[in-house]
Amino acid sequence: MKVFVIGGGGREHALVWKIAQSERVTKIYCAPGNPGIAALAECVDIGAGDVDALVAFAKEKAVDLAVVGPEDPLSKGIVDKLFTAGVTAFGPTGAAAELEASKSFAKALMAKYNIPTAAYAEFTDAPSAIDYVKQKGAPIVIKADGLAAGKGVTVAQTLEEAVAAIESMMTEKVFGDAGSRVVVEECLFGQEASILAFSDGKHVLSMAPSQDHKPAFDGDAGPNTGGMGAYSPAPIVNDAMLDEIHRTVLVPCVEGMAKEGRPYKGILYAGLMITESGPKVIEFNCRFGDPETQVVLPRMKSDLVPFMLACCDESLDGMQIDWEPGACVSVVMASGGYPGSYPKGVVIDGIAEAERDTGVNVFHAGTKMDGERLVTNGGRVLNVTAVDRDVPSAIAKAYEGVKRIHFEGAHYRTDIGRKALTAT
């Protein structure tokens, strides 16, 4: 069968890498792809947001399955348009993707269906939001309502930070229309965990838990990013906790979306805080997480493609995933200055040397070819990913890979996976 993967980052490289292992797949296209993906698939020069051109290409090539990576085309209804064009597509409809595209929608759904989450209020004008945070005090969380590439959240430790975040989103419009409405939440305490789960609109099948690292610097300091690294499994989510998440979060969400007339098919991503009183939802995403995908898929022994197809045709019930023992750790190598301004076009060396170590894969996130040279082309540049017998050995192997890769100004956290070593 022919598969068409939409997107061009580290998540999509991991998806293409995993899909290419399927005996059912004979051809993979990827738009726009990247130099790493180009070794596994035919890259097509169509932007991930160019919905009409993507649909036309999928129809022209008669692809058997389209897999949508990023949230932007999902929120624009690409899955609806693909199905209208006769192309089977893995991902939620535009109506279902509002679960990620609007934080206020997601919070209202959680309130209606008793899904545990932080207390909140929403605002459409800055003065009201500022008055509210002054009443509540800090720490407090400020979120842009719409899509902001994973950067629209500020965990404000002081009132000054909270006010600055509100003004930045609502008055200065740093996230455009995404910040026209803000959600202000109580600050939850505990360890974060991510659960990716397949859904066919009726049934839910969880994947292995993982933990992302959002802040830019060691010790969870600095501004939030799209993710500086991840590891799986996450010891904070044991079997009992995973069962609780399934029962109190995932199933009620899928059942609630069906009752709202927005049946949810595809990957449901639950970003959670594991608090003293149990798991609480920080956010829902409507696609594979990035960089969580890069540590979950390398541990998946089962063929990924049948699970995607089962979500599309509502046949997920009874399926089970086989997992590799051991652990996977991925360290993001970012451009200097990320998540602020950063240079592009910086030459990258050493990827081949890093991948000589068994169990190491370097997924390209923000790269391009400049003639014969591989250069940086984004904030998050590479995901240096390692599988080994346990978390400590996977951490060591991943960082050994990082040491072999060089580009001027490279920035990475040195503590990815450390929380797993102290989890009880």
pLDDT tens figures, 269-279? 999 999 999 99
240 and 302 fall within a common domain: yes
Would you say residue 107 lies in a domain? no
List of residues 6+ apart from 30 with CB closer than 8 A: 4, 5, 6, 7, 8, 12, 16, 37, 41, 42, 43, 44
308 and 397 fall within a common domain: no
pTM value > 0.85: yes
pLDDT above 80: residue 151: no
197 and 307 fall within a common domain: yes
**What is the total residue count of the chain?**
424
Residue with tokens 């009620």: 252
Average the pLDDT over 112-125 and give the result.
Answer: 95
Would you say residue 116 lies in a domain? no
Least confident of 141-155, 204-218, 244-258: 141-155
The DSSP 8-state label assigned to residue 262 in this structure reads -
251 and 293 fall within a common domain: yes
- Number of domains within the chain: 4
165 and 70 fall within a common domain: no
Question: Tokens standing for 92?
Answer: 């939620």
Would you say residue 115 lies in a domain? no
Q: Which of 91, 117, 141 is the last residue of a domain?
A: 91
The predicted structure's pLDDT at residue 422: 80
Q: Which of 69, 91, 113 is the last residue of a domain?
A: 91
Q: Any idea what the CATH number is for the domain that residue 249 is in?
A: 3.30.470.20
- For residue 382, what are the β-bridge partners? 333, 364
Would you say residue 349 lies in a domain? yes
Question: Tokens standing for 310?
Answer: 């089962």
Positive or negative, the Cα torsion across 86, 88, 92, 96? Answer: positive
382 and 410 fall within a common domain: yes
Average the pLDDT over 108-114 and give the result.
Answer: 97
Would you say residue 321 lies in a domain? no
Q: How confident is the model at residue 122 (pLDDT cuts 50, 70, 90)?
A: very high
SS3 251: helix
The predicted structure's pLDDT at residue 424: 44
pLDDT above 90: residue 91: yes
Mind listing the pLDDT tens digit for each residue in 20-35? 999 999 999 999 999 9
Domain coverage including residue 207: 191-313
358 and 303 fall within a common domain: no
Would you say residue 197 lies in a domain? yes
